[in-house]
Amino acid sequence: MANGADLAISILVFLSVTLFVVGVLMWLLTGTNPLQRRLQELDSSTSPKDEDKDRKPKHMGTFLVRWIEPAAKLILPREEWQKSRVRSRLIRAGFRHDRALRVYLGAKVVAALGLPLLGAAALFLTGRFLLIAQPTTIMVLVLLAVAGFYLPDLYLRHRIDERQIAFREGFPDAMDMLMVCVEAGLGLDAAIQRVGDEMAQSHPVLGTEMRLVSLELRAGSTREAALRSLAKRTGIDEVQALTTLLIQAEHFGTSIADALREHANSMRIERIQRAREKAAKLPVKMIFPIILFIFPALFLVILGPAIIRIVTSFFTVM
């Protein structure tokens, strides 16, 4: 009877937890359907001024107001990200969602609490739970908590470095294509959009950033604000130099094509210099693998037979 009661209680607990999880998921995933939204709009009493304000974008019917501006608001980060250092780092890492900051801080807390709990659970499972009270174990658990707290920072730094490297690799090619588009007769805004579309496959990070600039321009932002936002999102000196160059060319009325040509040449030279710098650092970086892995194997192959013969002859004489 006791086993039957325990089984029934287990089944009831399982069903309760399952129904609770399903209910929460349904509440989170399902929203108000279109019919309910329409009824709410009809029932809501608004002033004539508010009605004109609400109806204006719908009656305009332009592609810009209907689609481009809402898409830009969904993709582009809000203006507050420039005031927060953490939000700025998240934007540079590619996390532009509104919940990115909360997820990041929650990951820090969960990792800081989860790693010590995992360590304590490992001690309990192995039967060494008495070691938890020792100072060494407490110190290890504290170190695990500190490491878990800074693990999201390390991942974020790694993600930012990866995106910046990927952006720098394709930036000279993007400058060449932008210069060709401008010299062919396209405007700068159309050239930026074309470069973003063309670079989406070969350099996804660069293509995404250029398309965001195009969306921001088409949503009504000024060219100067869109370019400065690009420089802040990437955090790369080359992009900041390009932004300053284009803004000065626009203000002083100089040729944008000539400015882009000079900047593209400088970017190409800098890429060649970076490749030469990496090639010059390669012999220094190869010293430790050679000493640790190649030299011992080489000595073993060369000196091994000689040592074996010496030892064999020594025991033969003895």
> pLDDT tens digits, residue range 168-192?
888 888 888 888 888 888 888 888 8
In a domain, 129, yes or no: no
Asked if residue 66 has pLDDT above 70, the reply is no
Q: Residues near 291 by Cβ (< 8 Å), separated by ≥ 6?
A: none
The confidence score (pLDDT) of residue 45 equals: 45
What is the residue-averaged pLDDT of the chain? Answer: 76
In this prediction, residue 234 has a pLDDT band, given cuts at 50, 70 and 90, of: confident
In a domain, 247, yes or no: yes
In this prediction, residue 158 has a pLDDT band, given cuts at 50, 70 and 90, of: very high
Residues in the chain: 318
Evaluate whether 78 touches 71 at the Cβ level (below 8 Å): no
In a domain, 148, yes or no: no
> pLDDT tens digits, residue range 283-294?
888 888 888 888
pTM for the model stands at: 0.60
Asked if residue 212 has pLDDT above 50, the reply is yes
Closest CA to 238 of 196, 217, 208, 268: 268
Evaluate whether 154 touches 164 at the Cβ level (below 8 Å): no
CA atoms within 13 A on the CB side of 95: 19
In a domain, 234, yes or no: yes
Structural domain count, the chain: 1
In a domain, 134, yes or no: no
Residue 192's domain spans which residues? 161-276
Query: Which percentage of the chain shows pLDDT scores above 70?
Result: 73
Closest CA to 264 of 144, 136, 177: 177
In a domain, 191, yes or no: yes
Q: How distant, in Å, are the alpha carbons of 28, 57, 315 from that of 39?
A: 22, 20, 102
Q: Residues near 79 by Cβ (< 8 Å), separated by ≥ 6?
A: none
